[in-house]
Structure 1
Amino acid sequence: MNPPQIESPSADTATPATLGFAMPAEFAPHDACWMLWPQRPDTWRYGAKPAQQAFAAVACAIAESETVFVGVNDDQYENARHQLPAHIRVVELSSNDAWMRDVGPTFLTHPDGRLAMVDWEFNAWGGLDGGLYFPWDKDKRIRTKIAEMLGIPRFTAPMVLEGGALHVDGEGTLITTEECLLNPNRNPGLNRREMEQLLRDYLGIDKVIWLPRGCHRDETDGHVDNLCCFVAPGQVALSWCDDDADPQAAICREALAVLEAASDAKGRPLSVHKLPQPGPLYIAEDEASGLDRLDSSHPRRPGDRMAGSYVNFYIANAAVVMPLLDPVHDEEAKAILQGLFPDKRVIGVPAREILLGGGNIHCITQQQPRV
């Protein structure tokens, strides 16, 4: 059998879009979900043991309706294998940290049933200009390794981009933020027009909706997956804050104004569903004291505000796995999501330990679409 061809387009070769590939929506059926195992002591407190329990709970919830792969560094393989149920597949896949949404592949599908992926450039959310850790050499190899495991084509994109920076509706529309994709610490040589063209070329989309900013104090420079996402064609969920004294309120109003004035690639107006913002949430003294302090990583200090959001959920085949972050708002957010996904079971997972590391359930997962 001949090995799979790895496609790495350059200026004189075809792009995924010209070959008929496109990124499907997250709410389309999946074959699997990919995750990574947390262990960095400067990101995850107390040797990542509390975070590992939270990651395991997320993996178990998703595994109720789709295969889950958890990539693990060799020195944590036995520990992860013991902590995770037998039906969750543990594979050796070295990483610098555990944010599979951003370091993993963006999967593409073809009408003829083929699967492929985009291999974006990764610089740890800003490189040496605001990046969250150094080095990120293992993270950069994850997409190549998964392409080899699955035997699928890998399209190398000439731009820095993380998976959490975009959402698509599977019908030609992409939503993102100016704060992230136009940040000079990502692609200083690209303007908005050039960025949109690359998104069309590599994701098979037709229209980009630009929101101004992401959530307040989001250390990813404003990933859209913490603020807004598609829940169906023509419908989005938006994190919402009513407190005018909170900086997040202005961000929400800006986003709402853009969304209400926008139409998708099919010409439909967008229906916006508001999800309450949890908190505000802050890092406690005992939570910060359990972390290693390294000059090469982002500091996490007592009193720092965290960018908590119920929009940071994962849409599985038969479930929506959402973070539980605030007893005041958890049940309200869960009820709203159940209304948006009446045919799926909404599963809440205590997720503060994930948020302490800088993200949440959507950030630690990456769907592999069914073909």
Structure 2
Amino acid sequence: MSASFSADFRMPAEWLPHARTWMAWPLSEPVYGDTLAAGRSEHAAVAREIAKFEPVTMVYDPNAGDGVEQLRDLPNLTLLELPLDDSWLRDTGPTFVTGEDGSVAGIDWTFDGWGGLHPANNDAAIAERILRAAGVRRFGSDMVFEGGALSIDDAGTVLTTRQCFEHRTRDGGPTSEEFEAELKARLGARKIIWLERTLEGDSTNGHVDVVAAFTSPGHVVVQISEDFDDPDYDNLLNNLTILEQETDADGRPLTVHKIVAPPVSRNPDGSRRMLSYINFYIVNGGVVVPQYGMDETDAAAIGVLQNLFPDRRVVGVMTPTVADAGGNIHCITQQQPKGALSDA
């Protein structure tokens, strides 16, 4: 059941200890089309890699679970039947928070299918169903928002984009001040840093997790382009400039690290492929990073992240099909932090 929100709760950073990772099995023909089998194979590969570091719960729709049985006997992975529309659990699932007493709860944002882009009847309810299955308290929010639209540094600072805010409120909704106030209240944050936009053709309309992410308090990694002909060259440079001039919630300048984007690649219809190395996922003892078969930039991204996470094992997983569907490893995962289960 839902509970009144408490200011004692805050969202812990992704690099703090997890109890488990939540994922969802792909089922959407509109998203994957004739690449659905390949998308499922890549989801399975990501799940297998994460399960080497921490428990994984894979949610699957009982009417569209073809192929999920391959994971049933995988060590450290459990399957859970729940109705789904799509598999981007970073956005549809709950944003987990922890209380001062160590209890775990979840924020259930209002989900509208990324502004009506896709059906959302089941996915609008999946966060509440996951929280019930996890046995943790639910805090609802009337604000349309998704987990992929934020990165948090565990020191009171949140990173998001104006593109996402403006798209979600195009037909009315909170002002930017009200938006900031809700994020601060729900996440326990004290400062919002606004980037302008993400990548050309971003179907999420502005999720920050394809262009920038905190890696530790005071440190953020951004994707840049070294191709002057890249339509996003100036945009990515602008993101870098904003962050180099910003401070965290305590007024300390940020240390900004750079990852070079993969070469621009386009689909047959001319649309840009959503290739990002920033859409990595931090797990207990590791970091799981998208790879695209582009040897030079793939290896360089792994190297940058290994330097940023010297005490973790950084591993790459080939996920070009997930990228072509509009997201990547961070988009298909959601961390549940370690802590005491609160009363549901």
The equivalent position to 1:94 in structure 2, one of 83, 86, 100, is 83
Which residue of 1 is the match for residue 300 of structure 2? 332
The equivalent position to 1:242 in structure 2, one of 216, 226, 231, is 226
**1:32 is the counterpart of 2:16:** no
Cα separation, 2, equivalents of 1:172 and 1:124: 28
Which residue of 2 is the match for residue 6 of structure 1? 2
For structure 1, which segment, 238-247 or 345-354, has the greater mean C-alpha deviation from structure 2 after superposition? 238-247
Which residue of 1 is the match for residue 276 of structure 2? 309
Which residue of 1 is the match for residue 34 of structure 2? 46
Question: For the aligned residues, what is the CA RMSD?
Answer: 1.5
**1:365 is the counterpart of 2:333:** yes
**1:147 is the counterpart of 2:131:** yes
Native 8 Å contact 1:39 1:47 kept in 2: no
Which residue of 2 is the match for residue 55 of structure 1? 43
Cα separation, 1, equivalents of 2:248 and 2:84: 36
Aligned identity (percent) is 40
Q: Provide the TM-score with structure 1 as the length reference.
A: 0.87
Cα separation, 1, equivalents of 2:287 and 2:83: 28
Deviation at 1:40, TM superposition (A): 1.7
Native 8 Å contact 1:72 1:90 kept in 2: yes
One-letter code aligned to 2:29: P
Instruction: List aligned pairs for 1:1-371, cutoff 5 A.
Output: 6-7=2-3, 9=4, 15-17=5-7, 20-46=8-34, 48-77=36-65, 79-83=67-71, 85-87=73-75, 88-127=77-116, 131=117, 133=118, 135-185=119-169, 188-284=172-268, 302-325=269-292, 326-371=294-339
For structure 1, which segment, 264-273 or 230-239, has the greater mean C-alpha deviation from structure 2 after superposition? 264-273
For structure 1, which segment, 231-240 or 33-42, has the greater mean C-alpha deviation from structure 2 after superposition? 33-42
Gaps of 5+ in 2: 340-344
Cα separation, 2, equivalents of 1:199 and 1:42: 31
One-letter code aligned to 1:211: L
Q: Deviations over 1:252-279 (max 9, x none)?
A: 1111121111110122111111011012
Cα separation, 1, equivalents of 2:130 and 2:246: 36
Q: Deviations over 1:57-95 (max 9, x none)?
A: 100111111110010010344630234543211110221
Which residue of 1 is the match for residue 342 of structure 2? none
Q: Deviations over 1:7-45 (max 9, x none)?
A: 1x4xxxxx332xx00001111110100000012222224
Native 8 Å contact 2:27 2:65 kept in 1: no
One-letter code aligned to 2:161: T
One-letter code aligned to 2:274: A
Cα separation, 1, equivalents of 2:104 and 2:220: 26
Cα separation, 2, equivalents of 1:228 and 1:32: 24
Q: Provide the TM-score with structure 2 as the length reference.
A: 0.94
Gaps of 5+ in 1: 10-14, 285-301
How many residues end up aligned between the 2 structures? Answer: 337
